Chain A
Amino acid sequence: MNPESQPAIATVGLTKRFGDLTAVDGIDLELPPGRIYGLLGPNGSGKTTLIRLLAGLARPSSGSARVLGVEMPSRSNLEHIGYMTQADGIYAELSVWENIRFFAALFGERDDAALRHAIEVVDLADRRDTPAFELSGGMRRRLSLACALVHTPQILFLDEPTVGIDPALRVQFWGYFRDLAAGGTTLLVASHVMDEADRCDELLLILHGRLLARGSGAEIRRQAGVPDLEGAFLRLGSDEAPA
């Protein structure tokens, strides 16, 4: 297959069960590269589990997930994947630079220029030697993002990246996501903030582990026949509500 036409993410009947709970329920996806996908759904809808399956942190109960053409979980494929977790996942006692350098080393990134680039992108260059425990919540979020993209991954999974950060920084983050996508990176952004949805190229609505709808914000609103995404969510969700 020609790598240009190869989907960045492809899943077939992807399912993850924890005991009686089906967190991800038979999801089929084929997502072309270089775009920003918004993974929308309420808390507990299966967003994080879906990302963990795609990032190789969990094994599917059934079905399969391919990322960049490679069946997950695959340790070697992780070199090309960046994952910004919902928790900051940074070391409080380490400085900004030490945190970034640590994750860079694990990804095999040897180029100091890449580290400097990551630190500049999140606007923390003047905090280089500050220990993370002295950073504000928003700065820690930025550091967390820098650690996820220091190895210039082809795919970036972002789990609620803008939670707890102010509107100005949110705009900055999205500007940066847009730049990455323009450079060919595929982004999958999990969020329950609907006003971020319109910044995505395509939305994936997920509820009870099932894919409810897919399309641009406008398409989904049209499909549901309501003027806003919250309404669309409620409308589409009520059709799908489990007995």
Chain B
Amino acid sequence: MNLRRTFAISRRIANAFKRDERSLALMFVAPIVVLGLLGWVIRGQGEPETRLAVVNAAGAPGERIKAGIEQAAADAGITVERVADEPAARDALRDGDIDVVLVLPDDLFANQSAPPALRFITPGINPADDGGRVARVQAALLPALAGSAFPTIEPETIYGSPNGDQLDAFAPALVAFFSYFLVFVLTGISFLRERVGGTLERLLATPVRRSEIVTGYSAGFGFFATLQVILIMAFALGTLHVPVFGPLPAFSVGLGIANAGSPALAFLVALLLALGAVNLGIFLSTFARTELQVVQFIPIVIVPQALLCGLLWPISSLPELLQPIAKVLPLTYAIDGLREVLVKGADLSSAALRFDLAILAAIAVFLAVLASLTIRREVA
């Protein structure tokens, strides 16, 4: 390996970036904008309004329960609407005037041996919305129905804090996902342009070795991935309070996500992942003829990884057939490693973290070999 030639390739990537403001923005501004937006949405989101109507079909004894339920719901901030009967309630649901109908059925007291069954009716347009609203009504009713004997719950967690929000679990995963995705797209297109623009042909007419090309590319894009990961981490983990300045009110920059471990280790995880992404980009550029075709790899290569890697759902909850697939994806190990470090505060004495790092390094090396095999002197 000739270091001078390798360095020349890295430097040429850096020089090209210098004049490509859009790619620079994609690499450094886009992740911050998306993370910032996500933080805003998750933390600033209010409870959706829940409009409840209670229908009593259980006669006079039901009236007392209905009144109790309405009182408890109103106390919990739920809007209580009045409807005449079940058909009227269903019409109101259809018209979008109410969100949840609770029916006290006529057989409410028929079976003395079983606890009474209540019926919830929701529009069923967005099951997640419906579920959230029903849960809210249930939470409001439980103490009322169970009486004062109902125990209160004191949450406690091993890692992080019980008040942590979704962002705490999301942020490590997103740090990994961004660098992986953007580095893959930029390398894929950059190398595709080498192939179709005739520069690869020229490169191969020089004494350069393919290992030097792959290493030069890894170092060149690795350098920008490094800067990107530093920036994303600083934004995700830090909080910078900006005091009142002129007409601007005080505000803070950064998500201030609780960080238990060493940022340097988290950084190492993200960097190994990015090196894999560089070489995946080089490898897959072989199978594309245009930039558009590189973009077509996103739904094929990136989206399934995002679904399976543990970013959205835990891997153990995936269907059995998909679990082995999740276990060969680099993102899976990067996200696990980042959670080990950032959430659990793991250091190198943690076997789980060492395993993640080893697998990520192995995947990066494997993809580098694969990438260099696609760079052949005989291309036409």
Report which A residues bind B (CB closer than 8 A): 49, 52, 55-59, 73, 75-76, 78-79, 81, 83, 85-95, 98, 101-103, 105-108, 131, 147
Closest A-B pairs by Cβ, 10 of them: A87-B198, A105-B8, A89-B198, A93-B16, A106-B206, A89-B202, A83-B205, A93-B19, A78-B207, A102-B12
Task: Give the chain B neighbours of A81 by CB distance below 8 A.
Answer: 205
B15 and A89 within 8 A (CB): no
Task: Give the chain A neighbours of B19 by CB distance below 8 A.
Answer: 93-94, 131
Within 8 A of A (CB), among B263-304: none
CA A48 to CA B174, docked complex, whole Å? 48
Contact count A vs B, C-beta below 8 Å:
86
**Which of A59, A94, A108 contacts B12, CB < 8 Å?**
A94
B115 at the interface (CB under 8 A from A): no
A57 and B379 within 8 A (CB): yes
Task: Give the chain B neighbours of A107 by CB distance below 8 A.
Answer: 206-207
Q: Mark B8-36, 1 if CB is under 8 A from A, else 0.
A: 11011001111110000000000000000
Q: Mark B196-217, 1 if CB is under 8 A from A, else 0.
A: 0111011111111100000000
Nearest A-chain residue to B20, judged by Cβ? A93
CA A88 to CA B193, docked complex, whole Å? 13
Task: Give the chain B neighbours of A88 by CB distance below 8 A.
Answer: 198
Please name 28 pairs of A and B residues whose Cβ atoms are closer than 8 Å in the assembled complex, sorted by A.
Answer: A49-B380, A56-B377, A57-B204, A57-B205, A57-B378, A59-B377, A73-B377, A78-B206, A85-B201, A86-B198, A88-B198, A89-B198, A89-B199, A92-B197, A93-B17, A93-B19, A93-B20, A94-B15, A98-B15, A101-B8, A105-B4, A105-B7, A106-B5, A106-B9, A106-B207, A107-B206, A108-B2, A131-B19
A59 and B378 within 8 A (CB): yes
Nearest A-chain residue to B8, judged by Cβ? A105
A56 and B20 within 8 A (CB): no
B12 and A98 within 8 A (CB): yes
Distance (whole angstroms) from the CB of A96 to the closest CB of chain B: 12
The listed residue with most A CB atoms (<10 A of its CB), out of B7, B12, B203, B205, is: B205
**Which of B12, B205, B209 contacts A91, CB < 8 Å?**
B12
Distance (whole angstroms) from the CB of B196 to the closest CB of chain A: 9
Task: Give the chain B neighbours of A73 by CB distance below 8 A.
Answer: 377
Distance (whole angstroms) from the CB of B199 to the closest CB of chain A: 5
Report which B residues bind A (CB closer than 8 A): 2, 4-5, 7-9, 11-12, 15-20, 197-199, 201-209, 377-380
Besides A89-B202, A93-B17, 11 new A-B residue pairs in contact (Cβ under 8 A), listed by A number:
A49-B380, A57-B378, A57-B380, A58-B377, A58-B380, A59-B377, A83-B205, A85-B205, A89-B198, A106-B206, A106-B207
Distance (whole angstroms) from the CB of B121 to the closest CB of chain A: 61
CA A90 to CA B379, docked complex, whole Å? 18
The listed residue with most B CB atoms (<10 A of its CB), out of A79, A94, A131, is: A94
Task: Give the chain B neighbours of A55 by CB distance below 8 A.
Answer: 205
Task: Give the chain B neighbours of A52 by CB distance below 8 A.
Answer: 380
If A83-B205, A85-B202 touch, does A106 touch B8 (CB 8 Å cutoff)? Answer: yes
A75 and B201 within 8 A (CB): no
CA A79 to CA B204, docked complex, whole Å? 11
**Which of A59, A76, A103, A108 contacts B202, CB < 8 Å?**
A103
Nearest A-chain residue to B207, judged by Cβ? A78
Task: Give the chain A neighbours of B209 by CB distance below 8 A.
Answer: 75
CA A120 to CA B2, docked complex, whole Å? 29
Task: Give the chain B neighbours of A76 by CB distance below 8 A.
Answer: 207
Nearest B-chain residue to A77, judged by Cβ? B207
B12 and A78 within 8 A (CB): no
CA A196 to CA B198, docked complex, whole Å? 25
Nearest B-chain residue to A103, judged by Cβ? B206
CA A107 to CA B12, docked complex, whole Å? 15
Task: Give the chain A neighbours of B203 by CB distance below 8 A.
Answer: 106
CA A93 to CA B22, docked complex, whole Å? 12
Distance (whole angstroms) from the CB of B33 to the closest CB of chain A: 24
Nearest A-chain residue to B7, judged by Cβ? A105
B207 and A79 within 8 A (CB): yes
